[in-house]
Amino acid sequence: MQVREPWLWLMAMTCIFFWGGNFNAAEALAGEVSALTAAAERFLIAAIILLALRLGQGKRESALSQHQIVWLVVLGVIGVFGFNYAFFLGLQQTSALNGALIMAASPLVTNILSAWLLKTRITLLNALGIMIGLVGVSLVITGNEWQNLRIAPGDLYMVLACLCMCSFTVLSKKHAAHVPPMQLTRWTIVVGTGLLCLFALLIEQPLQQLPTISLKSHILLIYMGVFGTFVAYACWMKALQGIAPGRLSLCFNFVPIFTLLIGLATGHYPNAAQLLGMLLVISGVLLGSGLIKKRAAVVRQPAN
């Protein structure tokens, strides 16, 4: 049954809401749950759900070539292990809103990596949007303290997380474009979860840590595993079936907005640098995507 486009956009925005909430949840976990342990528990929940669905599916999947398997492992290392280790480390040392604003620059970074790895063309408008967006991210990271420049380690970890996610997106397009989406997701999540669990066991002693974690923190991790990972991805993939990726990626602009709104509801208020940075990042993404130019062309078009 074909789903109407408004419902697809609603699914996409539901996904973005849950992703925005991940930043608030991860910030709330900081100080009680160490980075690898938090990431391992979150993705272990998502991996169990995906594997259970696969077992209940009862039909064969596409056969994978050796080249595809190698790249699925690489994508799991970068997009799940690398991204989430940096994500949880970052949000232990910076605010949820800062993290969301840095990640909101993902479409801009993806444009740069696509031009390098996929040989896509960057127009003058794209370049202008990229520069404006990066100025906005710089403003968020520095807090407009250019005289006594000091960048918080948490913000640098979030930049690394952004690079991991954008690399995952572009490399998926380059090396795993023909792998079915659910198969791609399950492979990368299972590989990444295995690494997160292994490194957590080697570095953080999670088995001793888990019994001391509060019920509230476990509930937050269950939220991130079920809604912030599995449900969000299912909504996103359904939306992708009827909306072009370029249009759909504009939804990323709303990640920091949802993070901000959830933060306001819990008593966290933004500063002037964060608000200005948000405006610049969103403007840069809209300009770099060509949406502003397309909208202006529609307005100028005479009525028939």
| Span 268-292, average pLDDT | 76
The string of DSSP codes covering the chain is -PPPHHHHHHHHHHHHHHHHHHHHHHHHHTTTS-HHHHHHHHHHHHHHHHHHHHHHH-S--PPPPHHHHHHHHHHIIIIIIIHHHHHHHHHTTS-HHHHHHHHTTHHHHHHHHIIIII-PPPPHHHHHHHHHHHHHHHHHHHTT--TT----HHHHHHHHHHHHHHHHHHHHHHH-TTS-HHHHHHHHHHHHHHHHHHHHHHHT-HHHHGGGS-HHHHHHHHHHHIIIIIIHHHHHHHHHTTS-HHHHGGGGGGHHHHHHHHHHHTT----HHHHHHHHHHHHHHHHHTTHHHHHHHHHHSPP-
pLDDT of residue 298: 45
What is d(CA 276, CA 124) in angstroms, rounded to the nearest whole number? 24
pLDDT at 58: 73
Q: Give 261-278 pLDDT, tens digit per residue.
A: 888 888 888 888 888 888
> Residues 40-61: pLDDT tens digits?
999 999 999 999 988 887 778 7
Distances (CA, A) of 110 to 167, 191, 279: 7, 23, 19
Looking at residue 150, its pLDDT comes to 65
Q: What integer pLDDT is reported at residue 303 of this predicted model?
A: 45
291 CA to centre of own chain: 21
What confidence tens digit (pLDDT) does each residue in 90-114 have? 999 988 888 888 887 777 788 788 8
Residue 143 has pLDDT above 70, yes or no: no
